């Protein structure tokens, strides 16, 4: 099989299983936290912790902007079964970077990875993320190229794939929708909070043999779980978060 076809096939396969990435990261984090003994002062560890949280928040903001300004049926909204696009999304955040959702994913998860205080883990996950998503992005772009032809190529040739170029920004054609963020991002928020609490609990257990439940992290986790439950119920049993022309 030609490399171009092999890459596309692998990308479509990886795309269908991308939801398993958090589980893999959680499992990998267990031995990493166990063997990691950071030789840093407490003040430095606190700063690194806040940087890690800030990176995950940045990732969420990038995803939120992407989702809140994406109309139904555009290139920014795919399904578990495969690629979907009735129109090409080239304005707003998609005018500065071609894959903002994956960029957001990277920052959300690398924040949790950094919270392990293991720099080698950060580097390893970053490289693995690129190798994994490179094929997914390749498969998506092959689909869009066949679907939209020159319109896609003209946009792709002047828009970076993963590192945003803010000077290329073009005003979005649809308004920001907070409902879209509430409808689609509650599970991502919950998973991110769970990731930080999981790492903190692992570190506490390996260091002291116990896990302290009455912490700020656990309070935030309970709040995130409650919020996710409420939003999921509203989404599935009411039409309060429904919007015409939105995915």
Domains and CATH numbers, the chain: 3-174 (1.20.120)
- Give the span between the Cα atoms of 232 and 227, in whole angstroms: 8
pLDDT value at position 164?
A: 92
Count other Cβ atoms within 10 Å, centred on residue 112: 26
Count other Cβ atoms within 10 Å, centred on residue 151: 14
Total-model pTM: 0.88
First-last CA distance in the chain: 36
pLDDT value at position 86?
A: 64
Q: What percent of the chain has pLDDT over 90?
A: 52
pLDDT value at position 88?
A: 81
pLDDT class of 54 with cuts at 50, 70, 90 = very high
The mean pLDDT value of the chain amounts to 87
- Give the span between the Cα atoms of 9 and 225, in whole angstroms: 36
Whether pLDDT at 4 is above 50:
yes
Model confidence pLDDT, tens digit, residues 19-36: 777 788 889 999 999 999
User: Which helix (H) or strand (E) is 160 found in, with range?
Assistant: none
């Amino acid at each position: 099989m030609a490399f171009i076809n092999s890459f596309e096939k692998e990308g479509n396969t990886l795309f269908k299983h991308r939801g398993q990435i958090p589980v893999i990261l959680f499992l990998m984090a267990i031995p990493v936290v166990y063997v990691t003994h950071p030789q840093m002062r407490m003040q430095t560890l606190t700063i690194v912790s806040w940087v890690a949280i800030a990176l995950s928040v940045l990732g969420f903001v990038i995803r939120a902007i992407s989702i809140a300004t994406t109309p139904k049926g555009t290139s920014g909204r795919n399904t578990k079964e495969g690629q979907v696009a009735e129109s090409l999304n080239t304005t707003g955040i998609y005018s500065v970077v071609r894959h903002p959702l994956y960029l957001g994913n990277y920052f959300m998860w690398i924040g949790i990875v950094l919270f392990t205080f293991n720099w080698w883990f950060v580097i390893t996950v970053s490289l693995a993320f690129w190798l994994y998503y490179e094929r997914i992005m390749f498969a998506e772009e092959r689909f869009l190229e066949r679907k939209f032809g020159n319109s896609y190529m003209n946009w792709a040739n002047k828009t970076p794939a993963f590192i945003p170029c803010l000077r290329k920004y073009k005003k979005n054609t649809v308004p920001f929708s907070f409902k879209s963020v509430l409808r689609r991002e509650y599970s991502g928020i919950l998973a991110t909070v769970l990731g930080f609490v999981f790492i903190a609990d692992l570190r506490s257990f390996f260091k002291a043999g116990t896990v302290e439940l009455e912490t700020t992290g656990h309070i935030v986790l309970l709040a995130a779980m409650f919020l996710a439950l409420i939003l999921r119920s509203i989404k599935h049993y009411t039409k309060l978060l429904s919007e015409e022309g939105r995915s």
